[in-house]
Structure 1
Amino acid sequence: MKESIVQLKDVRKTFPGVVALSKMQLDVRKGEILGLIGENGAGKSTLIKVLTGVYHPDEGQIIVEGQERQFKTPQQAISAGISCVYQELNIEKLLSVTDNMFINKWIRKGPLLDYGKMHQIAQDMMKKLGLDVDVRKPAGHYGMGVQQMIEISKALLANAKCIIMDEPTSSLSEKEVEELLKICRDLREQGIGIIFVSHKLEELFQLCDRITVIRDGEYIDTKDVADWDNDSLIKAMVGRSLDNQFPKEVGVRSEQPLLEVKNLNRKDVLHNVSFKAYGGEVLGFSGLVGAGRTETMRAIFGADPIDGGEIYIRGEKVDIKNPKDAIRAKIAFLTEDRKGQGLILNESIQNNLILANLKGYKKGLFLNKKDMDTMGEGRINELSIKCPSQEERVGQLSGGNQQKVVIGKWLNTNADIYILDEPTRGIDVGAKVEVYQVINRLVKEGKCVIMVSSEMPEILGMSDRVLVMREGRITGEMSRSTDAFNQESVMKAAWEV
């Protein structure tokens, strides 16, 4: 058995009214990749913050290479060899790659910074990770994949013995994911321990040596990856079996389209995008990252300008210049960036739920608190949002519960057309099923649901029709009722020129 690098033993962490961790166990060994999985709200984020010195445990032990440690600051955890690459990258995009790697650990030459030496070290580190980048350029010049490698480089420069990767693939393209997994394997060969946090089961099975499951703040089990399968892992994670991960229900499609888009154009981005979307159906949009799916949805919602094209709702042409116009036209848009564009993190759950429909809760010049309280409790129960109360700040919730708040915000508008851009990104399989049930309910009510997703099983599992985009154009359409409704057809339309 390999020696342990980092262990948690019987760790407990509480907040007012909430037990976040109880008797938590963890053991990551030298030269292994340990998968960590649990539902949103299971305690993964709290566990990571305890390991990295952001939180101090109320009880229990943190043991690093056989020695008990107490971290009062993140710097103490880094000095002990524990680093974290967070889902929300800590990158200063205007600074160079070198500056990002050496922040707070500058190399000096007399009174000046030794940029020659730092550039060389940064360049060598990037090459070591298989990247050919100009480290003198701003970090924001490069995509998410390179920015993530910068974060990993920062950890390696700090002589990390254990690197925590928190949902590292959630915003990466397929090629970038492959590169990241290769880097993880290389780091394992160097004897570094990795805690790989992910909701994507296929990644855990493909990459990890062992998988640890936690649920409701408690340790459930750790087993070799060969001793888990999809069903046993899901059951351990959610405490129940999910016999149908994609509970698709077919609605009654409207005779006429609720939404019709004709020749939507934007220079160098969208090229004559045309399609029809009906009530009582889920229209899926597939394609590679950068294919123009999100740009199409933002254009329909008035968030981005267009150079030409027409939009019709129930057969009538509408002029949508901004999101306010779209909301008046009964269009809802769940953005893929829930934290940056979907929520106000410092506001309460209740206040976020009414953001898109303030007028609906006004009583004269003031907001009707009684109606807001009733609505808030109803949405929390309906969407199974885990929280102490509706006055809790949204920023304190797990990613999956934040996503449910965004969905609740748009349900409060009683829209006819729901555009859902990556609606299950970064949430666990249990929460995903709950989102799918909301989609089913909307379809049953005759609403039009447009779903953008980068997950092929989700697209095929929940859509009635699939449109495929490539380089700003629609390149394929598949219907559930035909033999062409399969992964091969979708990938062919997404890749072939």
Structure 2
Amino acid sequence: MADKLLEMKDISKSFSGVKVLKGVNLKVDKGEIHALVGENGAGKSTLMNILSGIYEYGSYEGDVLLEGKKCKFKNIKDSGEKGIVIIHQELALVPYLSIAENLFLGNEQEEKGIINWNKTHTYTEKLLEKVGLHENSHELIKNIGVGKQQLVEIAKALAKEVKLLILDEPTAALNDTDSEHLLNLLLELKEEGMTSIIISHKLKEVTKVADKITVIRDGSTIETLVKGKDAITEDRIIKGMVGRELVDRFPKRIGTIGEVMFEVKNWRAYDPLNEERLVLEDINLYVRKGEVVGIAGLMGAGRTELATSIFGKIYGKNISGQLFKEGKEIHIKNVSDAIERGLAYVTEDRKTAGLILIDDIRHNISLANLKNLSHKGVIDDNKEIHVATSYKEKLNIKCAGILQKVGDLSGGNQQKVVLSKWIYSEPDILILDEPTRGIDVGAKYEIYTIINELAKQGKAIILISSELPEVLGMSDRVYVMNEGKIVGELEQAEASQESVMKCIMQSSKEAK
């Protein structure tokens, strides 16, 4: 019989009178990978914040038992001393410190109050080797990619002699290669006796690595599935998460595609930090009224750079080329120009660039179209409240009310606020960059339904996603990008994972 490492018994937690957790139970055995799945807002992160001491003992009901002993954590330092380490989706690394400095921040290798740098770098190199990261320990965090930063976080946890590693959406911002590497590392650490809890919306990854899967819905434990004992399928997990079967992951779109709404011709842009490096080369594309055009490509292909260079020249230097709307050339110098000409850009990074997290839902929704709410520079509060309430209902934003802070919402509901903001700006062309990143299958379906409704209204939509099934499932036509160029254009009938990868591989061969 396996040794029990952790037991969370009858955990309940409320915020502002709203019960978020309702008697949740979780058992984790030593040396297993235990997955925690559920919709956004189901209570997964709240449960892990209780376990890691972010929500202190006494602020919740129920008991946390580690190796049979009751825990009364007052803060994250207390849980860390017991060997519990949590790695959040937003990584807690200092960009301008080195890998070694980040690895031992708060856990300095000191002797008589003086840091032993030789010991620090030697120990860092051993830990980096263990996690499979081949970087100089002196390298600054800002100079390495997100996938490598995730490995630094794991190495940091190993430096603290971790007993229980909690990973919250560890692969949300990673490409397929980095995700695969991280999951293989977790399996290797499991072989060495490491115990992990992983929160993820990527069910394919969950079923690959997890020994047990606990499903949470609306703050309650639904079931725990055991590999080798229960029949574990993505459909079964989804049914547990959302309370119903999702017969079709991508809702059918009904509507007609009209004339060309937006066209990009001979678009070029250079790296803002290195003006000699061409990032986007002679891009040509178009999107019609009522059409969803997908842009597929590997990480680093230039998709986001293309979107942000078009939308008010947020990215890039020495940008050249032409933009046309309904056949007439338009000139966009900044974001205000882009909005004025009917463009909207839903960023891939909603927390940093898409929302003001410390502000309420009402203000976030109205932000891109304040002129529509104001008279002689004075905002009509009643009109703003009416608009925000209307979008809350139309997009089914789950919240305590429109005065709730956006930072307190789940990821899926935050994404709906971002969409509300840009829909309210009354755009003709929407550029959606990773619109479902880090949200669950139920919330994804709702976002897809919103996209379909916008297309039905005649909006021209450009969809960028790292999830190829999403691009293929939602798009009427697909452009394939590689190394800053359009290397293929596929109609819906011919678009497949194989045809997309064939375009990429063929262009890479030609470049050599």
Task: Please give the range of the TM-score, normalised by the shorter of the 2 chains.
Answer: over 0.9
Are 1:236 and 2:240 an aligned pair? yes
**Aligned ranges 1:130-169 → 2 under 5 Å:** 130-169=132-171
Say which of 298, 301, 304 aligns to 2:315: 304
1:348 corresponds, among 354, 360, 367, to 360
CA–CA distance in structure 2, aligned partners of residues 130 and 304 of structure 1: 33
2: distance between equivalents of 1:398 and 1:13? 16
1:352 aligned counterpart, secondary structure: helix
Is it true that 1:263 corresponds to 2:274 in the alignment?
Answer: no
Q: Secondary structure at the match of 2:489?
A: strand
In the alignment, the residues of structure 1 paired with residue 82 and residue 231 of structure 2 have an alpha-carbon distance, to the nearest angstrom, of 32
For residue 50 of structure 2, what is the aligned residue in structure 1? 50
Range with greater deviation from structure 2 (299-308 or 212-221): 299-308
1:464 to 476, 480, 491: 476
Which of 385, 388, 406 is the aligned partner of 1:394? 406
Cα distance in structure 2, aligned partners of 1:221 and 1:111: 50
Which residues of 2 match residues 280-359 of structure 1 at below 5 A?
280-302=290-312, 303-305=314-316, 306-359=318-371
Match of 1:40 in 2: 40
Question: Deviations for 1:376-432, whole angstroms, at most 9, x for unmatched residues?
Answer: 111111111111010001011111111110000011011100100000000000100
Contact 1:210/1:223, CA 8 A, preserved across alignment: yes
- Assess, with a 3 A threshold, how the Cα gap between structure 1 residues 495 and 250 changes in structure 2: closer, same or farther: farther
Task: Note if contact 1:17-1:388 (Cα within 8 Å) is conserved in structure 2.
Answer: no
- From 490, 493, 497, the counterpart of 2:500: 490
Match of 2:444 in 1: 432
Question: In the aligned structure 1, how far is the partner of 2:213 from the partner of 2:335?
Answer: 43
User: Partners of 1:73 and 1:82 in 2: how far apart?
Assistant: 12
The aligned residue for residue 273 of structure 2 is: none
Task: Give the SS at the match of 1:227.
Answer: coil
Q: Distance in 2 between matches of 1:328 and 1:16?
A: 39
Question: Runs in 1 of length 4+ with deviation above 4 angstroms?
Answer: none
The answer to which of 315-324 and 357-366 deviates more is: 357-366
Shift of 1:307: 2.6
2:379 to 340, 344, 367: 367
Counterpart selection for 1:278 from 282, 285, 288: 288
The residue number in structure 2 matching 1:377 is: 389
Structure 1 contact 470–495 (Cα < 8 Å) conserved: no
Amino acid at match of 1:304: Y
How many residues are treated as equivalent by the alignment? 494
Distance 1:450 1:176 in 2: 26
Contact 1:92/1:100, CA 8 A, preserved across alignment? yes
SS across alignment from 1:408? helix
Amino acid at match of 1:208: A
Q: Flag structure 2 segments of 5+ consecutive residues without an equivalent.
A: 271-277
Which residue of structure 2 aligns with residue 184 of structure 1? 186
Secondary structure, aligned partner of 1:45: helix
Query: Counterparts of 2:439 and 2:408 in 1: how far apart (Å)?
Result: 15
Counting only pairs closer than 5 Å after superposition, residues 410-421 of structure 1 correspond to structure 2 as 410-421=422-433
Deviation at 1:477, TM superposition (A): 0.9
| Contact preservation (8 Å) 2:131, 2:154 | no
Look up the SS of the partner of 1:195 in the other structure. strand
> What does residue range 65-144 of structure 1 map to in structure 2 within 5 Å?
65-144=67-146
Task: Write the letter of the residue equivalent to 1:214.
Answer: I
* Residue type at the aligned position of 2:292: V
String of CA shifts for 1:328-371, please: whole Å, max 9, x gaps. 01001000000110000000000000010011111333211111
Name the residue aligned to 1:254: 258
Distance 1:495 1:422 in 2: 23
1:174 is matched with which residue? 176
Distance (whole Å) between structure 1 residues aligned to residue 269 and residue 195 of structure 2: 46
How big is the alpha-carbon RMSD for the aligned residues of Structure 1 and Structure 2? 1.1
On the 8 A contact 1:376/1:390 being kept in 2, the answer is yes
In the alignment, is the contact (CA less than 8 A) between 1:87 and 1:167 conserved in 2?
yes
CA distance in 2, matches of 1:192, 1:27: 16
| Higher mean displacement: 428-437 or 246-255 | 246-255
Q: Aligned partners of 1:66 and 1:494: how far apart in 2?
A: 53
Counterpart of 1:266, as a letter, is: A
1: CA distance, partners of 2:465 / 2:135? 30
Deviation of residue 71 (structure 1)? 0.6
Shift of 1:155: 1.0
Q: Is the 8 A contact 1:283 1:465 kept in 2?
A: yes
CA–CA separation in structure 2 for the residues paired with 1:155 and 1:8: 22
Aligned AA (2:365): L
1:307 partner SS:
strand
Q: Residues 2-41 of structure 1 correspond to what in structure 2 (within 5 A)?
A: 2-41=2-41
Q: Offset at 1:105?
A: 1.3
Is 1:206 aligned with 2:213? no
Residue 17 of structure 1: how far off its partner (Å): 2.5
Aligned partners of 1:469 and 1:475 also within 8 Å: yes
1:182: how far off?
1.0
1:185 to partner: Cα distance: 0.3
User: In structure 1, what is the Cα distance between the partners aligned to 2:351 and 2:162?
Assistant: 29
Work out the CA distance in 1 between the residues paired with 2:70 and 2:112. Answer: 38
For residues 413 and 365 of structure 1, what CA distance do their matches in structure 2 show?
A: 17
Where 1:121 maps in the other structure, the secondary structure is helix
Q: Distance in 2 between matches of 1:66 and 1:417?
A: 57
How far did residue 250 of structure 1 move?
4.2
* Deviation for aligned residue 1:110: 3.7
Deviation at 1:494, TM superposition (A): 2.5
SS at match of 1:354: helix
For residues 444 and 355 of structure 2, the distance between their equivalents in structure 1, rounded to whole angstroms, comes to: 19
User: In structure 2, the residue corresponding to 1:12 is in which secondary structure?
Assistant: strand
> Identity of aligned pairs, percent?
43
Q: Quick one: distance in 2 between partners of 1:23 and 1:172?
A: 33
Flag structure 1 segments of 5+ consecutive residues without an equivalent: none
Cα offsets for 1:88-117 (capped at 9, x unmatched): 000101001010011111112344210000
Q: Deviations for 1:271-311, whole angstroms, at most 9, x for unmatched residues?
A: 00111111111000000010000111101101124431111
TM score, norm. by length of structure 1:
0.98
TM-score, normalised on structure 2? 0.95
* Preserved contact between residue 248 and residue 461 of structure 1 (Cα < 8 Å): no
- Distance (Å, rounded) in 2 between the aligned partners of 1:213 and 1:377: 32
Amino acid at match of 2:267: L
Q: Is the 8 A contact 1:301 1:323 kept in 2?
A: yes
